[in-house]
Structure 1
Amino acid sequence: MKTKVFFLNQKLQSVIVLCLFAVFNLQAQVSGNQVYRNGNYSGDQGTFPVNNVVSVNDNMLSVTVKILMNKKADGFVITLGLNEEDETVSGCNKKINTRISGLLDKLKMLGIKKEVVYVDFISQTKIYDYTVAELNAQQIDKGFEIKKNVIITTSNVENLEKIIAFASDYEIHDVIKVEYYNENSNTIHDALFDDALLLAEAKKAKYIKSFGKRILGTPNATEEFAVVFPKTQYKSYQAFESAEMESNSASRSQYLKKIARKNKTYYYDGVSSAGFDKVVNSNQTEVGIQYIMTLKVSYKIDTSI
């Protein structure tokens, strides 16, 4: 592991301290109920990334560039689950297929054709019950259960709520997952890579001009390209304050303590834009896909100058 050490003059250190104080003070004013979230969350982004830097080690100049892109999804894949029970397998199939067919007919109102819908057969199992006579309980066959998933693709984000509403008309209430996708991920990669090259070249040129150095040979480079989907970026918290209850009785066995239900809030917390050299679509409010390009370029310096 490489350790990078940076020396700052006293004036610059004072400026940084003042800036950080202003940032933390602002966060304290507008943080909202998310402050109730568990501070031990493994994906906490409270620390700023500091690896978009220029560093010098012996005769090598290392330049790191980080770019973040917020991109709206081109399409969505929603998976709905349903099940049906009956005394016979054919009865199960008839019931569940009737519900699915009804949903598919409703989806035509949204312009969603059968070609973009896939029905996935999940399982067929026997179900059992018990008959109780006096002190005896005997297990008996009750019938069968069939489970299927309906997988629907749409390019319109507004269709998602309508699909869920239509599904509820046929007692399909299990929204298993919603996947996001972009059709041009290779194009996105190439664009971010080109931007990173330009920024790396600008950082290198500024260093060379400032310190009167010269580069030898050709540079070495490593690239990391990450795609962050919304399903990994949701967090939760419970915002409430509890009262204390004490009893002076030596025995508390006669007391029943009932805990009130506390609502749990979920919210989207995407990758923070702090610490990046460039953020594309920084003001995007719609939840989408995030792309991170990290480019590290190393140059050999002529130490004879």
Structure 2
Amino acid sequence: MKKIFYTILLLLTMSSLIMAQATGNRNYAKRAKGNVNYNNNTYNDYSEVPQNIEPNVTLGQGKLVTLEVQILSNQKADTYVAIFNLTQMGKTVDETNWLLTDRYNGFAQELQSVGIPKDAIYLDMISFVPLYEYEKEKKIFSKTHNEVPKGFEMQQNVHIKYNDMSMMPKIMSVAAKYEIFDLVKIDYAVDNQEAVYVEMREKAVAHLVQEIELYVDRLGVDLESGYRIVGENKQVSFPVDRYSSYNAYSNVSLGGTPEKGKVQDMYKPKTMYYDKVAYDNFDIVINPTVLEPAIQFMYTMKIQIAVKDPNQPTPQHVWLTPDGDLVPIKID
């Protein structure tokens, strides 16, 4: 009996470990309310997670049949642009400019040695402002503090274009040598964006044609004689907008709060992860498996078709002869 109990306990423990590995700390962070700061950024309607997973069917009113297809295409970037911020302070204008120029020149020169060509590096001037500090007036019984110039601060951004994501560790290593630690963002780009939408449009048309044939051949709905209205829409989501963050930790209390002394909280790192647009609402997903953060193109095509009412009599065309007779005319 003890062996059976231990076996069940082991299976339950292993099951919980497997579930943790399958779902990840993101779900643990969502469950542990109060102890975890979880922020899941949402940037468009496509990324909303439905509360009710059961599909809802809405029948349109009147004599219109509406068909819709939504397509998502995951595309690996062809080029990347990383933006680093350089901030330099100095006592004088010349000193500030010289120090920053020296850092940039060294950074740009060493980037070329790791495979970044000179024409793929661009320097963007951001700001050049004076710095002030408060100085107390040296007067008897005076409490006045005046702002006086202390120095200058210059900021510039370095834009670096590259074609292979494996270049980023090399770029970061060179940047660290010149005390450049602020990676502002990385932009992703697809060279032939038009071709992506052409592929999605063709798949949308093929999907809708297949649905119309299903209505006509299998369900007996007359969609061939009605007029049609077609509309389309497109949207794109870049990786820079798809990162979410959370703090994964759990506070354990062993007997309440301390009675004496101060509580010193430990530093709890924040986890960031790429949270792609979910596939829930899409009929077709091109390149569904995403290993590297991808540019996600979204396309929707909707068609409305007027359906003939079987109870409404077919209008007849007649010809009034000179003798006063009504002769039916068949018009195809």
- Give the TM interval when normalised to the shorter protein: 0.7 to 0.9
Distance 1:246 1:183 in 2: 59
Deviation, 1:303, is 2.4
1:86 match: 90
Deviation, 1:152, is 1.1
Question: Paired residue for 1:264, among 270, 290, 297?
Answer: 270
Distance 1:219 1:161 in 2: 54
Distance 1:112 1:80 in 2: 15
Distance 1:198 1:27 in 2: 40
Distance 2:82 2:278 in 1: 27
Native 8 Å contact 1:52 1:275 kept in 2: no
Which residues in structure 2 correspond to 1:120-159 (within 5 Å)?
120-130=124-134, 139-159=147-167
2:281 match: 275
1:115 aligns with 2:119: yes
Deviation, 1:53, is 7.5
Question: Paired residue for 2:26, among 34, 59, 62?
Answer: 34
1:246 match: 256
Which residues in structure 2 correspond to 1:18-33 (within 5 Å)?
30-33=22-25
CA separation of 1:177 and 1:226: change in aligned 2, threshold 3 A: same
Native 8 Å contact 1:52 1:66 kept in 2: no
CA separation of 1:67 and 1:55: change in aligned 2, threshold 3 A: farther
Distance 2:108 2:246 in 1: 37
* Identity score, percent: 28
Q: CA RMSD in A?
A: 3.0
Deviation, 1:58, is 3.0
Native 8 Å contact 2:39 2:245 kept in 1: no
Native 8 Å contact 2:88 2:96 kept in 1: yes
What letter corresponds to residue 198 of structure 1 in structure 2? Answer: A
CA separation of 1:209 and 1:27: change in aligned 2, threshold 3 A: farther
Q: What stretches of structure 2 of length at least 5 have no aligned partner?
A: 1-17, 31-36, 312-332
CA separation of 1:260 and 1:96: change in aligned 2, threshold 3 A: same
1:237 aligns with 2:230: no
2:49 match: 46
Distance 2:218 2:304 in 1: 18
Native 8 Å contact 1:53 1:64 kept in 2: no
Deviation, 1:290, is 0.2
Q: What stretches of structure 1 of length at least 5 have no aligned partner?
A: 1-25
Deviation, 1:168, is 1.0
1:166 match: 174
Deviation, 1:96, is 0.7
Question: Paired residue for 2:79, among 55, 75, 81?
Answer: 75
What letter corresponds to residue 294 of structure 1 in structure 2? Answer: T
Deviation, 1:74, is 0.9
CA separation of 1:29 and 1:178: change in aligned 2, threshold 3 A: closer
1:95 match: 99
CA separation of 1:49 and 1:281: change in aligned 2, threshold 3 A: farther
Native 8 Å contact 1:52 1:64 kept in 2: no
Deviation, 1:114, is 2.2
CA separation of 1:287 and 1:85: change in aligned 2, threshold 3 A: same
Deviations 1:107-161 (A, max 9, x none): 2123322222211111111123356789976654322221111111111111122
Native 8 Å contact 1:55 1:63 kept in 2: no
Native 8 Å contact 1:54 1:64 kept in 2: no
Calculate the TM-score normalised by the size of structure 2.
0.74
Calculate the TM-score normalised by the size of structure 1.
0.80
Native 8 Å contact 1:53 1:65 kept in 2: no
CA separation of 1:31 and 1:46: change in aligned 2, threshold 3 A: farther
- For the pair shown, the structure with the greater C-alpha radius of gyration is 2
2:62 match: 58
More deviation, 209-218/77-86: 209-218
CA separation of 1:50 and 1:95: change in aligned 2, threshold 3 A: farther
Question: Paired residue for 1:298, among 285, 304, 309?
Answer: 304
Deviation, 1:298, is 0.9
Deviation, 1:41, is 4.3
Native 8 Å contact 2:79 2:188 kept in 1: yes
CA separation of 1:52 and 1:201: change in aligned 2, threshold 3 A: farther
